[in-house]
Structure 1
Amino acid sequence: MVFACQRDSFLKEFKSTVLSCTPSELETTVNGKKEIVKGYEVILDDTILFPEGGGQPCDQGLLGDVEVIQVTRRGTQAVHFAVQPVPEGSVVDQHLDWNRRLDHMQQHSGQHLISALGETVFKYPTTSWWLGTDTSYIELDTSSLTQSEVDEWEKLANEKIRAALPVAVTVYERDDPSLSEAHTRGLPDDHVGPVRVITIEGVDTNMCCGTHVNNLSQLQVIKMLHFEKGKKNKINLHFLVGNRVLNQMATLMKRESSLTTLLKNSPNVHVELVDKLQKSLKVTNKKLATVLKELAVYEAQKLLSLSPRPKLYVLHKNEGDADYMRVFINEVGDQKETLFLITVGDEKGAGQMTMYGDPELIAELGHKICEILDGKGAGKGQKFQAKVSNLAKRNEAVKLIKKHFESCGIAV
């Protein structure tokens, strides 16, 4: 079946009859976590909500005032997953999420144009493509690509857009010999009924079930982003089309404005100023590392001068790092009479810890102290090391060590 959304991709509202509505569940991802959503599978006599296919995600919208969050194709039917039931036999008003549809049409039609030019001009066939939420890419059957080719590719694509070439949809029966002239990577195994062919005048003829613009001018502009090595010795070429280019431009302008405020200079010297700051920061960090090592040596010498030596020595340095703790322990040497608890980082937040001393004490207390400080780590012999996320509990950790010493009859 050719749906209303495929007959006219610019329909935003449509009336249809509800053929069935059955309870169902949908596995979806919310904030990066998989969740099971309860809802209803609704089948209509026709739809303007495109079911996913051809590399294009599904549409979203409303059936009356009921939200549709997914549409899939099942044979000749489009199955709408609605969050509430819709009465069977009723006539409902479909309302399309137009911004989502327009975005998908621009990316999809843009992909057809990019892939066609890649194959005819540069001899790089497209083997697959991905329409992402932020950017899209095509997978090219080549192991090499140059920036000069990409620049020329982008130029040619935008010339076709400025030429406002028509984009036409023709529907054929599956056994029509005219289909032999259309490009395709193959129809789905469960495809039945008529076949749609998308033609960009003078550029490409391609079988496709997706929704498309009527004219290349509706793409507005294409911007090639970057390319990278993909799977099986292929190349992925990333791109933006239409409103995504404008949105990206707005984001970049906002970022440039913020940098101009921070750097207190014009945008044309941003790179130069950031380069200077990075070099200055590198020098400063090197000096800080030297000072911290000297402080670690000083702290160790101060401890070694104590008589008698303490049974417990607690040391914290906000600006310290793993090297600071390592230098301190190296300077202290092979100590077993003192148990050291050394921490570095945000005194009320995340950081690192090292316990150092008698192996029996380390085995007994290491994991317990690590757990108090909300960390993960491991110990061996005289040392236990961990990354921790709650240094605000250091006093609680010290109390546990002192309590252990008291239970062993050791005065701290």
Structure 2
Amino acid sequence: MLEVKLHDIGEGMTEGEILHYLVKPGDRVTADQPLVEVQTDKMVAELPSPGAGIVKEIVIDTGTTVQVGTTLLYIEGEGSPAAAAEAKPAEKAEMQAEKKQEKKTFIASFNRVLATPYTRKIARDHNINIEDVTPSDPSGRVTEEDVYRFIKGEQQPQQEAASTNEPPVSAQQTTPDEIPFRGMRKQIAKKMTKSLFTIPHVTHFDEVNMTNLLKLREELKEAGVSVSVPAFFIKALVIALKDFPIFNAELDEENEKILLKKNYHIGMAVDTKDGLIVPVVHDADKKSIKTIHDDIKRLNEKARDGKLAPADIQNSTFTVSNVGPLGSIGATPIINYPETALIAFHKTKKVPIVNEKDEIVIGHMMTLSMSFDHRVADGATAVAFTNRFASLIEQPNKLMLEMI
């Protein structure tokens, strides 16, 4: 008998919520076939089958949050007497033929409709076959708005229900006036609460003159090289973190130590339809600005498409939040526990400034806010850190020299 247990599929994961079983008792499964969707504090993941056999029993109900190591279901392994008894002799030849196509057929059915895990969950919660929902997006992706329109009966299903005269589910006219506090939203809440009530937060605000960096970026663009502003930010942060390693650290209270990390893995807070998620640019100190730009673009796309792998969200040592494009002018961000600090970049505005010649000119000024753990670092150190970062951004030629 094979036990399928919830195992650690993320960095330091301790629990997960069972969202949806992809099999039922009596189903034949193959090795590595996805069995169940699990919501961790960072992503939705599928647990694969450890071997081939027949699903005997599902132990944990959907919607239940369980600890790592909990048995979720049992599979009678192929070759066991019980599994052999399940298959009648006349069916054995058919079984062999089906097994060759089973995994392929399963995956094709599961991935046929483009939709995020959260959108799929809304459909499941309302007993809707997501394949019946008509997508409004030109790409063919079904959105949560599409599902809600279907629930209200504002659109017809793509296919009529086969061999039945029953009305479609949309006839229920259910009004989505409640949002279940589960899944990623609940996991984010737990992590934010732990961070805020464990770490004594202090937030330091500063301004950065972006004029020269934006000018350099335009010159690169005219030369055919496109590099995003956050790529410059991350490179400058790595240099500043090397000068102030206390912010690339983690407090180990139990052993009364501050662990200074030797790797520079920069997390990037990304707002998705499923909630806030933090993909990671690993080893940013070893990468060029252009490579960092490519990593940011790739990870953002994967985050918004719900395709991040566990490795994409692990081991961050410092986190950034680029909320300026959304119009933010300031905030007091919550630290990504157990890190020591998080920096947020806010809106860049054109304002009158006085240059080094005492002339009043138009400059591009950006506000930043940095929250840090006051048990680990002090305000003066935080000011020195952001001053170092600002000097590299304000004088991008100096940033280039630091990279040599």
**TM-score, L = length of structure 1:** 0.22
**TM-score, L = length of structure 2:** 0.22
Point out which structure has higher relative CO (alpha carbons under 8 A, 6+ apart). Answer: 2
Q: Which has the larger radius of gyration?
A: 1
Write 1 or 2 for the structure with the bigger share of strand: 1
